[in-house]
């Protein structure tokens, strides 16, 4: 079977080479082609599917924030978990993230939901599933993306040390089994969704805790501020 050659940042292409050679990835590619042929609007747009990897090359990864699905509304998803492009309304979970950021570090609620600034500093904003059909949450689950992103987590765990994994909610926390906790750091709390944020997400102080860990490991702290 021929290797799939996705348009992904070069360091990730090298580290994930075996995934692109795998039968499941070929099936995933065929599934996406069929969706497109059927006229299904898919988010994020093709060139942005691997945006998280473009903004955060493998050697730059210091923090991983794991999401589940891309946003399924038009114009929202742009390849970074929890993030929306500038000019798009801030979704409820992201607004709660910003509220915790204010409570934790005293930063004002940003006017933009674009988190590229975080990604460019080494925060891998990784969704478990990298595409979704318009207005159909979960529509691209169990098609191969989870196998791919699990491999991403395993590769980071195996090849790096001192990475901070931020796992919000039960879905993300189920991925802890992929992480070598003897050489990485895991921060866990309920999901920032309005349905669960009051159960322990607010007050988790994950932003200041992450910076304390990075500083203790000799890495530069993340500037979490956004305009």
Active-site residue list: 69
86 C-beta neighbours (distance < 10 Å), count: 11
Place of tokens 């399924």: 72
User: Going by C-beta distance under 8 Å and a sequence separation of 6 or more, which residues neighbour residue 188?
Assistant: 167, 168, 173, 176
Check if the beta carbon of residue 20 is closer than 8 Å to that of residue 3: yes
How far is residue 197's CA from residue 192's CA, in Å, rounded to a whole number?
5
Place of tokens 């309920």: 190
Q: Which two tokens stand for residue 205?
A: 């102080």
H-only helix segments in the chain: 10-15, 17-20, 23-37, 51-55, 92-105, 116-119, 145-159, 170-173, 206-216
Check if the beta carbon of residue 160 is closer than 8 Å to that of residue 219: no
């Amino acid at each position: 079977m021929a290797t799939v050659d996705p348009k992904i940042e070069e360091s990730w292409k090298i580290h994930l080479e075996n995934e692109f050679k795998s039968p499941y990835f070929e099936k995933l590619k065929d599934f996406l082609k069929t969706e497109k042929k059927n006229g299904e609007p898919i988010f994020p747009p093709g060139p942005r599917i691997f945006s998280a990897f473009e903004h955060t090359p493998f050697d730059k990864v210091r923090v991983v924030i794991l999401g589940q699905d891309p946003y399924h509304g038009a114009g929202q998803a742009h390849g970074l978990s929890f993030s929306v492009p500038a000019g798009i309304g801030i979704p409820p979970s992201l607004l709660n993230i910003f509220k915790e950021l204010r409570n934790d570090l005293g930063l004002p609620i940003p006017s933009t939901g674009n988190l590229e600034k975080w990604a460019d500093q080494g925060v891998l904003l990784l969704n478990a599933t990298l595409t979704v059909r318009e207005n159909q949450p979960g529509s691209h689950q169990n098609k191969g993306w989870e196998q791919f992103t699990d491999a991403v987590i395993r590769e980071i765990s195996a090849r790096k040390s001192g990475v901070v994994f931020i796992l919000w909610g039960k879905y993300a926390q189920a991925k802890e089994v992929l992480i070598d906790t003897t050489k990485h750091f895991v921060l866990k709390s309920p999901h920032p969704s309005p349905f669960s944020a009051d159960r322990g997400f607010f007050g988790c102080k994950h932003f200041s805790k992450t910076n304390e860990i990075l500083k203790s490991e000799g890495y530069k702290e993340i500037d979490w501020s956004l305009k």
